[in-house]
Chains A and B, each alone.
Chain A
Amino acid sequence: MDTTVEKKYTFKDFASDQEVRWCPGCDDYVILRAMQKALPEMGVKKQDVVFISGIGCSSRFPYYMDTYGMHSIHGRAPAIATGTKLANPNLSVWVITGDGDSMAIGGNHFIHVLRRNVDLNIVLFNNEIYGLTKGQFSPTSLVGQKTKSSPYGNTQPPFSAGELAIGAQARFFARIGGNTPKEMTQIFIEAEKFEGTSLIEVMQNCPIFNDGCYDEFTDKAVREDKQLFVEHGKPMIFGKERDKGLVLKGLKLEVVTIGENGITQEDILVHDAKEQDPTLHQMLVRLHYPKVTGIIRSYDDITFDERMDNQIKEVKRKSNFHYTDDLFFSGDTYEVK
């Protein structure tokens, strides 16, 4: 793949001339800016970048990016993006989706794109609510959550995006708060580098219909104590004082304090995002305290597009059929004089 860039881009090169129309205070602005900042760092040519979205607030995203883009139909962006990537594996293809788009109406495409490991990136704006249709519960809304369509409280248990994704064989899963743009930018860059389907779940606040849904993890005052930002090869330490960490006790993760009960930094688990076995990654995804953010899983595997490309090259190499005439006039033909 030729990804050399002659021109050094800035974030302005990726901003389209369209007025951004999300509600004031929405985390979507943060995500947009983080993406526009990440792209110049990725080493891709602007003309090779494609954003494909479904339907929902998040899915207006492509209109604001000065790249190739398609605002498609509800839930289908992963399937469209699969076609785009297979047709031209040189492209950097991004899917922009929300919790309803990817896990309700588009659930089927979401799990299959992960299973196949198509080399594209999915940014999942998870605000645990339907915004564009004005406030119904989504497949990630909590039980008991009162919404327009659940005035007495939601009775449907939620999906955990990460668990669903890893269950569907996701090779790359990252989670990030909607108010941490620096880390988000870095994760976007890592996702682009990763060859395979990268899923980034953004805990995105909806200030209108589900305001504060992530406050207990993302509020600036508590974030360092409540979030564990994992990095491959580094011990899983968190807390304002950097004194809390994770250890494995039996089949469960446990939070311990360094310096108490004889615990030292050496006892803390070291994050291995590249491990093939997803057991520990699933446990990290499930953890409520601390909420694990960062790149939780990043297992290198052959991609679907590469497999297909290799197969076609191999078949072409072995075949005597180069033009359709070679096929049409082969086998049981006969002459009429």
Chain B
Amino acid sequence: MTTTKINPQPKTLHAVVIRFVGDSGDGMQLTGTQFSDTSAMFGNDIATFPNYPAEIRAPQGSLYGVSGFQVHIGSVEINTPGDEVDLLVAMNPAGLKTNLHAVKPGHTIIVDTDAFTKKNLDKAQYDTNPLQDGSLENYQVIEVAMTSLTKEALKDIEGLDNKSITRSKNMFALGMVYWMYNRSTDHTIDFFKKKFSTKPELIEANTKVLNTGYYFAETLELIPNSYGVAPAKMAPGTYRIIMGNTATAWGFLAASEKSGLDLFLGSYPITPASDILHELAKHQHFGVKTFQAEDEIAGITSAIGASFAGNLAITTTSGPGLALKGEALGLAMMIEMPIVVVNVQRGGPSTGLPTKTEQSDLLQALYGRNGESPIIVIAASTPANCFDFAYQASKLTLEHMTPVVLLTDGYIANGSAPWKIKSVKDMPEIKTNIIHEYQEGWHPYDRDEDTLARSWAIPGTPGLEHRVGGLEKDRVSGNVSYVPDNHEYMVKIRAEKIKRVQNSIPELKSEFIDEGELLVIGWGGTFGSLYSAIKSIREKGYTSIGLAHFNYINPLPKNTEEVLKRFKKIIVCELNNGQFAKVLKLNFNDFEILQFNKIQGLPFGNEELIQKFKQLLK
């Protein structure tokens, strides 16, 4: 075993980014999740992001078969999974090759030398062994024969096949990283006990490998010291680590319980939205009905049918699926039926980049229907607040009797972060527009004076039999009407109904400062990137910069113009070619609106944002 020289490092760190990479079958997601959970329980703030290939079983050792998991832990507030990596754990040459660019110069790489065979080097398209050719001299490389050390550790345990032995080498790596960052192995050992409750030999084996890795790092003189990342200051309470898609699913569960309506999900599988379907399918104990439909259209139309029958009905999809749902969404808008459409955005157009993130469905959500058909569009901005916005989408749809599109994206949907658990009893009330009995002169399109929401009469209720449909309807009776003036009236009242949602949503707040030189505008899943970049540039003395981050897109918050007015320059940063900037320009023509756009299927990097903001603050 050889290694390059290690420079002394400080023992206490504020934040660390660790990336585990290996073959799809190497268990990198599990390794990363274990480290994240353990760190979160220790008290760190965290953010994680998985990065796995689109191919389900990519050939072993290939460059496109690399699976990765990144975690950012800190004693400070953490808003993103991080850009540059402090520690890379590479289980094979392909993992090293595809991830080396992300490692900060001078920082640490742990490799499994057993995987650096001629065959694997060829597959990773290395002409020479990077461990020997000097190409890694700017990094601290820790070479460990993990596979053989794992085999050695397990040679005395009975009943293990070769595959199980090799597969547990990821726990050797995890053990090493636990020692390096002063973490206890307890949580992971408890995990083994639960996961392998019927296979004691696997509990023993995994525990042994984990501990071997831990002690190996401790005794290895090549690692100079272990680092500490102290607990972060977080609001007291009960927490758990939650993925964005899970949080979305749970937000709907909470809204179902609070509103007293059964939850119905009609959905067709699509990356990266399917996990919401998977999650809700687990919760039949709450009476949730998940219907995997024959296509995207049946996904939404079955939900419309369930809504007609009085359920809290939702459908989940991603970009191309939203395109297919457009006509049905128009129907729901026309018959003024509550329904939530979750669009977990991915790279488009067409099939685009299914596993990559983008914010390019905003205009589709706003305008992707025939006729004058405004609906509510809102966006979640962090993995944890997917819960709040799924809940809010349900509340808005039920209280305003109009479809709601909830936009999230692959970045926050697959990312995870600590969530301070919310109990349903602490969530705001949800009032439905359900009517239970006939009153003289009742009509199905009678409207609430304040919200203009129509009354909701559900099949099974005597005396309220009525017909709804996609044809234009008379403003009073609700019967089909082709009268010209009536159509104009109905188009306008449906638009006014959406506008009045402004009275039910919070005002826009600018973060950091209320007025100044530069206002950064973002929406949806870029919150973490924008917030961290602005925070760090402010620490460098550029203090006249604020952030206005939008979660409510249609309607926009009432005070939007006032907030914009207080800054000299405005820049809209989004992961598309300028869609929200267009929306703002349409609404407010007194401002010069600058744009910063990235359309690479990737989130914003801290450094590129800081460079841009510095230019504008000169």
Contact = CB atoms under 8 A, between A and B. Distances in A.
A71 B284 contact: no
B308 interface: yes
A47 B295 contact: no
Contacts of B423: 325, 328
B491 interface: no
Contact of A48 (B257, B459, B467): B459
A79 B309 CA distance: 13
A83 B467 contact: no
A76 B328 contact: yes
A47 B40 contact: no
Interface string B454-492: 000001111111111111000000011000000000000
Nearest to B427: A324
Interface string A31-59: 00000000000000111101010000000
Contacts of B310: 87-88
Contacts of A71: 467-471
Contact of A336 (B234, B295, B303, B327): B234
> Interface centre among A62, A65, A86, A109, by most B CB within 10 Å?
A86
A312 B281 CA distance: 11
B306 A84 contact: yes
B459 A91 contact: yes
A335 B237 CA distance: 6
A333 B285 contact: no
A73 B240 contact: no
B37 A88 contact: no
Interface in A267-294: none
A47 B465 contact: yes
Contacts of A334: 40-41, 238-240
Contacts of A321: 283, 285-286
A181 B236 CA distance: 72
A86 B302 contact: yes
B305 A52 contact: yes
Interface string A299-318: 00000000010011001100
Contact of B266 (A72, A83, A324): A83
B283 A70 contact: no
A47 B40 CA distance: 54
Contacts of A324: 250, 253-254, 257, 286, 424
Nearest to B37: A332
Contacts of B306: 83-84, 86-87
A308 B238 CA distance: 35
A86 B289 contact: yes
Contacts of A311: 284
B286 A80 contact: no
Interface string B411-449: 000000000111111000000000000000000000000
A75 B471 CA distance: 16
A8 interface: no
9 contacts: A47-B463, A83-B291, A83-B304, A84-B309, A87-B289, A91-B309, A315-B285, A321-B285, A324-B254
Given A86-B306, A108-B298, A321-B283, 5 more contacts: A46-B462, A79-B294, A112-B293, A334-B238, A335-B238
Interface of A: 16, 18, 45-48, 50, 52, 62-63, 65-73, 76, 79-88, 90-91, 108-109, 112, 308, 311-312, 315-316, 319, 321-325, 327-329, 331-337
- 3 closest Cβ pairs, A-B complex: A83-B305, A71-B469, A83-B302
